Chain A
């Protein structure tokens, strides 16, 4: 059982790291967007990369922290009806919708991986001057959902454990 708890803590920790990475990228986005405006307006020399790189950062910001936000229970949702239920029933409902979410995540991971692999195989690149290899930003979508899926499994296990432990 010990190795299992190491694994779940590990999943938590990596998720947390992704959120911290987002905070850092956010600062980088702020600086690069301002730099681009500055270069364009005052020196008439807009960067060729700022807009595009920021789009990729934004995708990172949108999908990579999903797992950690799930752990912190900070996703936007309607929990007032759930909270009216008894503790055990809440856990059952959570397990149920977590399984549904796992189904959705699996589809995104599976088809997202295909999309990424194709982009890699055919050497797809962005149509800009940067000609950025697209498999890298593409891979963020399945990667974020892989972690969301793992976090969901952890959450389901924890809920089952609590049910078994006679949680009221």
Chain B
């Protein structure tokens, strides 16, 4: 059995199963098992359970359920309404201001919690009806939430950075800090895009008639304190040396419950049970993929795919930026079909050696990878943010969501290329750390 044949066959089986609707974890597991059987026979597959065990028995990954729980609890508190209220008053006089308000609300949510779909759900459920009520075009409204919700992956704390850090063995402190500048620049670029659209066609976002005085703007600011406290609580616990980023997830979840109890008074035993159950289900769905992705990369290593790929690409001796461009386009296409977490877990072991061989910093690649995944979560057919928004509001149709979101892929790609060509920009802030 030639190794090349086995690798090609495994990829065909993987894609076929995924397109058939077979769950991603099983598609990875089945195809990798067949591959290992082809290369090593029945002895080879005896490693599979211990590979899964080895991958899962890691304290770092406990961040997954903790941040998911935090996101679920925040969604149920109603904190999204307060965030959105403040930003919509401040951006009131700017063309497209309400859409920009949802971008900044999502960004601020992202600074509390590192889960993209939690941002979309929490802000979307408030912002979409509000924008439609003021006569905003449904696609413009929808796009500003689905795309900006993904800022949570880039702005610390971020779950995907935690996953990347665990595989690539890059310092999480630095990854988190590295996400700040790209996250803010991307948020600004989204606002610029909204402004350009509205200036060209003012009917997309009618100016509100109501007069908002400065005291109207200042007064609701005090309702931001739970959000600011939570940000300080989570990030402060990490950078104050109290907790690891994983433990900070537990801080965040507990903080979210405290806010639900004392500030919004939405806490009840029923709410506790519901949030725990939803989070348990999402954790189960995500983490079994983590385990099976490891079997897949074990197969890739048996077939020495990362090594051969690196050798091949280096032998082409193309300029580094061409290589990075190819890698980014490849990730963009793959991201249409695979969710963010699986992307990090499956592609990192294959592509990181290539990138490092080209002389790039693994820290930089982590930032760029997550920036790239901003697109993966909003591109169909598998774009979890699109479906999340649809699941929390019936006010916009799937077609409107898609139409409003697609331009952001271009905005994000432009932002990505900016950081690919100027790596210093992404690395500047982390390099100031000792």
Contacts and interface: CB of A to CB of B under 8 A. Distances in A.
A78 B288 contact: no
Most buried by B among A68, A101, A137, A138: A101
Contacts of B289: 76
Contacts of B277: 19-20, 23
Interface in A88-115: 93-94, 96-97, 100-101, 103-104, 107-108, 111-112, 114-115
A168 B284 CA distance: 32
Interface stretch (B53-61, B186-194, B422-430): B53-61
A130 interface: no
A30 interface: yes
B21 interface: yes
Interface residues of A, number: 58
Interface stretch (B96-104, B134-142, B242-250): B242-250
Given A22-B280, A41-B242, A69-B281, A103 B30 contact: yes
Interface in B390-415: none
Given A79-B21, A107-B48, A37 B285 contact: no
B305 interface: no
A25 B33 CA distance: 31
Contacts of A24: 276
B401 to A, nearest CB: 14
Interface string B6-24: 0000000000011111111
A106 B237 CA distance: 44
Interface string B271-302: 01100110111011111111100000000000
Q: Is the interface of A mostly helix, strand, loop or mixed?
A: helix
A100 B26 contact: yes
A81 B157 CA distance: 35
Contact of A55 (B18, B58, B288, B381): B58
A134 to B, nearest CB: 9
A111 B49 contact: yes
B337 A78 contact: yes
B26 A101 contact: yes
B69 A66 contact: no
A111 B291 CA distance: 15
A90 to B, nearest CB: 8
B343 to A, nearest CB: 12
Contacts of B164: none
A22 B278 CA distance: 10
Contacts of A115: 46, 49-50, 53
A66 B250 contact: no
B24 A94 contact: no
20 contacts: A34-B251, A37-B251, A58-B62, A61-B280, A63-B52, A63-B284, A66-B284, A74-B281, A76-B23, A76-B25, A76-B339, A76-B342, A79-B21, A93-B20, A97-B20, A100-B26, A101-B22, A101-B26, A108-B49, A111-B45
